[in-house]
Amino acid sequence: MPAKVDEAKCTACEDCVEACPTEVISMVDGHAWVNPEECIDCEACVDACPEDAISMVD
- CATH number of 50's domain: 3.30.70.20
Q: Where are the alpha helices (DSSP H) in 1-58?
A: 15-19, 44-48
Residue-range definition of the domain harbouring residue 9: 3-56
- Non-local (6+) Cβ contacts of 31 within 8 A are 5, 7, 10, 12
- φ and ψ of 47, to 5 deg: -70, -30
When divided into structural domains, the chain yields a total of: 1
pLDDT tens for the chain, residues 1 to 58: 899 999 999 999 999 999 999 999 999 999 999 999 999 999 999 999 999 999 998 7
Number of Cβ within 10 Å of residue 38's Cβ equals: 12
